[in-house]
Chain A
């Protein structure tokens, strides 16, 4: 690199050079993005990522062992290079936080078509600028950690190694490993066995594992009542929507100025509507909906209004209770408390495991982790389909090693605190 200003590249390099280098890397990244487009992680999967990663690590080690006394490696392992690299990375992260983000596999036509797209800002974590800067930061992190081994160490240094090496391991494995990560979704019908799953592009993969869905159950919270504006459907009072969850028959609540008394709760009903009236009768089969009989009073009303409110199901319509022309009582769709799939998981070796899978309670088998992901929305709690997400991330253990080192390092940060500075 050349510059007509002699002062700037004069040794020893400081923050100014650091900013030029870091910003230069970002700009080079944007230019590469123009010509090469977004980085598709799967194109860098095993063994390419291993190769790149190994070259990077060997490169770092060689530079350290053969050139550690050169000016540039000294600078790269110092705070003078660190601060600018973190600042530029922070700028990129802020841009990332301000622009809507899309997956690297998103169809090109779905992205807003403007300059930001060409720079890669809508797929920032898969953009050249982000990846190149990340490797630059990793290099500084690596060099500074290696440099520390040549200095006199005290027990304080344990914190330094845990934080810096931990971050290096987690971040490095996170980036390299993202290329090998597979995320597939699998729809399984009750009573059936499935071994095919599709990826983000909709491509179907045959897996070495199969899942048989015995039962799928949804547990819901108790129904809620709200008062809505009949014309807009908005929950009242406007701007501060209020709701009441059923707590027992005979209880009264105040919603948007109306006293709503719950007279009766029926958890399993059919709602029958004809042209003039509607009726609610007990119904104990799939498709049944929930109903509450309520009485509404308020100081402004001459007579109370009484009737059934229901949120319907795929079989029955919902039912609101009109207080007057503008306002009515309604029951929103109940929130899901828990959904559980009882499954048998078969692996290629002929192993068979019976287990339950819930949100936050995935099932691990070999390299794969199986998550409860979704169900058939249209059928609601009567869904006969459970949707699983299957994730394979061979680098997870490495990333976790780094994360736990960082956790230990943060304890050091807390207990040991800063070096006392004398100025």
Chain B
């Protein structure tokens, strides 16, 4: 099993997710969209497992591999949101976003590579990255909501509903980036001798975290405006991009202990 087989699994999953998204609008009951999304997720996850098996290490090291998890967690996040708060459109959102990342991975797969350097051979590695990918998926979804809100503010009738949803999603996303970050700290202590070294990746993780904390606190006051809150979310997501892959292009990040994707 390798990246050449990915496209078949991807087509199967995306088809199921598209049908689920359409049904979410059509039917009152949540059961059919839920089951279809789940089926797509199972197909997608079996590819991840098979890749894991053939690489003999968790597929979490290269950018392509983290994109794989991201494409997986977007529908997971969509499904949880759909189940918990019943937003019909969220499944379409997560399907579109996930498909974009799937296409990137088909066009630009990462090279089959078994190597996992000693520092990454840790029980914290998988939960740390997986939790981060899950939170990135949630925060990606909330960013789309923010863009939607900023563009169409005047036409939205129930603004409170959308703000409540954004709050809900940001709390979940922030909870998970906090966990991912702290697990990273505990792992760093075991691997590099210190829990926090202000390495570029860590620094941008802190910046991202501060961005979402700002949103949470800003929203606590009645005087905050919806528009400003949404703009803050866009900004926080930019910080997140820097943390995720932007650091790879920073001159200041040369020699970062977190730059693994070089060959």
Contact = CB atoms under 8 A, between A and B. Distances in A.
Contacts of A86: 210, 213-214, 217
Contacts of A89: 210
Contacts of B118: 336-339, 358-360
A399 B195 contact: yes
A101 B247 CA distance: 14
Interface in A400-417: 400, 403, 406-407, 409-411, 413-414, 417
B252 A418 contact: no
A120 to B, nearest CB: 14
Interface string A207-229: 00000000000000100000000
A420 interface: yes
A410 B204 contact: no
B213 A359 contact: no
Contacts of A359: 118-119, 121, 191
A93 B122 contact: no
B117 A335 contact: yes
B121 A360 contact: yes
A336 B116 CA distance: 9
Interface string A69-99: 0000000000110110011011001101111
Contacts of B211: 90
Contacts of B195: 174, 396, 399, 403
A418 B171 contact: yes
Contacts of A242: 111
B193 A93 contact: no
Given A90-B207, A407-B179, A414-B172, A98 B115 contact: no
Interface string A87-125: 101100110111111000000000000000000000011
Contacts of B38: none
Contact of B160 (A181, A336, A403, A423): A423
Contacts of B171: 413-414, 417-418
A73 to B, nearest CB: 19
Nearest to B174: A413
A243 B111 contact: yes
Interface residues of B, number: 59
A79 B215 CA distance: 12
Contacts of A79: 217-218, 220-221
> Which secondary structure dominates chain B's binding surface?
helix
B114 interface: yes
A174 B196 contact: yes
Interface residues of A, number: 61
A389 interface: yes
Contacts of A399: 195
B252 A97 contact: yes
Main secondary structure of the interface of A (DSSP, over half): mixed
B68 to A, nearest CB: 18
Contacts of A389: 193
Contacts of A360: 118-119, 121-122, 190-191
A359 B122 CA distance: 9
B258 interface: no
Given A83-B218, A389-B193, A417 B172 contact: yes
A391 B194 contact: yes
A94 B206 CA distance: 9
Contacts of B213: 86
Interface of A: 79-80, 82-83, 86-87, 89-90, 93-94, 96-101, 124-125, 174, 181, 183, 221, 235, 240-243, 245, 335-339, 358-362, 369, 371, 389, 391, 393, 396, 399-400, 403, 406-407, 409-411, 413-414, 417-423
29 contacts: A83-B218, A86-B217, A93-B207, A93-B210, A97-B200, A97-B203, A235-B263, A241-B263, A243-B113, A243-B263, A335-B115, A335-B117, A337-B118, A360-B191, A369-B193, A389-B193, A393-B194, A403-B182, A410-B178, A411-B179, A413-B174, A414-B176, A417-B167, A418-B170, A418-B171, A418-B216, A418-B219, A421-B160, A423-B163
Given A337-B118, A359-B119, A410-B179, 13 more contacts: A93-B207, A98-B252, A125-B198, A183-B194, A241-B111, A389-B193, A396-B195, A400-B186, A403-B186, A410-B174, A417-B168, A418-B216, A422-B160
